[in-house]
Amino acid sequence: MAQDPPDAGAQGVSARGSDEFRDLVNKRLTLNLLIQGAAQHAFLTAHYLVRDELNAISPKLIPTYDKIALLGFVQYWAEFVVIAGPPRWFWWRAQHSPWHPFRHHPLLSRHGGMLAYAAKARAVERCREKGVFRHVPLSSLQLTALLMKTRFIEYKRKPALVELAKQATAMVWGISPAQLDGTLTQMVAFGKLSWPKSYSAAMLRAGAAGFGGVIRDDDDLKVVARAWVWPLLSHELTKGTIELICMHGMCEWDEATYARVIRAADRIEHEPWMLQAGAELWRRLLPLLPDHRPLAEMVMHIARLPAKSLEALMLAVIEEPERAKETLGRLETRE
C-alpha cells in the first residue's frame, strides 16, 4: 500500500544488473518480513497496552481479542491450506525449487520453515490455554462467532476504540497520533491496489478483513489502516507505521527501481507466509535490540543497511544471536 518513498530521485541506485536487482528484492522481502512480524506481534499483544481503557469500555473485549488473535494466526496452518496448499510443502520448495519466490532469499529459503513452525508451536500452546479451536471447521466457526460478537460490542464505541488503537501504536513506535488514520469498517480497501495475479491472491483479496499502509497526503506521508475489528486495526496501524520507517532504507532508490522492486516483492499471496515466519523472527530480534534506544530508531537503522549487510544481520539473529546483538549495538552510533 506504500506510495513512492520520500526523496526518491536522481541520486538513487539503479537496477542494471540482475544480481544487484536480486539483492534489492531480497532487501525488500526482508523488510516485509520484519513489517509483517511486528504487525503480527501487535495483533497478538497490543490490546494489553491499553488493557485498563478497554476494560472500561467492556470487560468482554480483552478475552475476546485474545481468542480472535490466536484464531486469526493459526488459520495460516488451517483454512489457508485450502487457498495456498500445505505449509510444509511450500517451505520445502523454498529450499529446493529454483522457481519458488523465496528460493534466492537466504533467510527465507534456509530458515523460513523453521521460523514458521516455531511460531505455530507457540500459537498452539496458547490455543490450549485460551480454549481456542485450531482445526477446521471448528476454528472457522469459532472465529466467525467471535467476529460477530466483537463487531456488536464495538459498534457504538468505534471512535473511542480507534483512538485507543492509535494510542497503542504511538506508545510503541513514538509516532504522532495525528499521523495515523484508522477506521473500524467492513470496507477495508483503499488506495491503488494491484490486480491479483493468482488464485490465492484473488482469494486473499476477497477475504481481506484489514488493509494498512502509507499514502501521500499533500506534502506529508500518513499511515492509513482499515479493519473489521480492533486487533486487526492495531495490526494494520503497526504495519503501516513500520512501512513508513522502512522507507528510510529505500529513499536512495530511483523511482523506476523502487517500482520494479515493489512489483517483484510486494504480493498479497506472500503475506501469509511472511506472517508465519516473520512473527518468530520478530520475537527473536526484540531481545537483541539495545534497551536504551527507541524501537523505531533501531528499525530505521536496520532498514538503512545495504542489502548484503541486512542479509548477514538477519541470518545472525537466527544463527549467531550474540554476534547479532553486538552488531545491533553498534548500529546506534552510525549516522
| Residue ranges per structural domain of the chain | 18-331
Residue of 209, 204, 240, 208 lying closest to 225 (CA atoms) = 240
What digits encode the pLDDT tens for the residues 199-251? Answer: 788 888 888 889 999 998 777 889 999 999 999 999 999 999 999 999 999 98
Residue 175 to residues 2, 204, 226, 308: CA-CA distances in angstroms?
17, 29, 18, 29
Q: What is the mean pLDDT of the chain?
A: 89
Q: Which residue has the cell 534466492?
A: 104
Q: Compute the radius of gyration of the chain from its Cα atoms.
A: 19
Question: Grid coordinates representing 236?
Answer: 494494520
Write down the pLDDT at residue 212.
Answer: 92
Strand positions, DSSP E, the chain: 180-184, 210-217, 220-227
Amino acid at 185: T
**pLDDT attached to residue 195:** 75
Q: Which string of b and e fits 106-129 if b means at least 16 CB within 10 Å? A: ebbbbbbbebbbbbbeebeebbee
Contact by Cβ (8 Å): 190, 236:
no
27-31, 112-116, 268-272, 330-334: which range is least confident on average?
A: 330-334
- The pTM score is 0.90
79-134, pLDDT tens digit by residue? Answer: 787 787 888 999 999 999 999 999 999 999 999 999 999 999 999 899 988 889 98
Peptide bond into 137 cis (omega under 30): yes
* Cα-to-chain-centroid distance, residue 126: 20
Decide if 71 contacts 77 (C-beta within 8 A): no
Provide the 10 A C-beta neighbour count for residue 99. 6
Tell how strand 220-227 and strand 180-184 pair up.
parallel
Residue type, 57: I
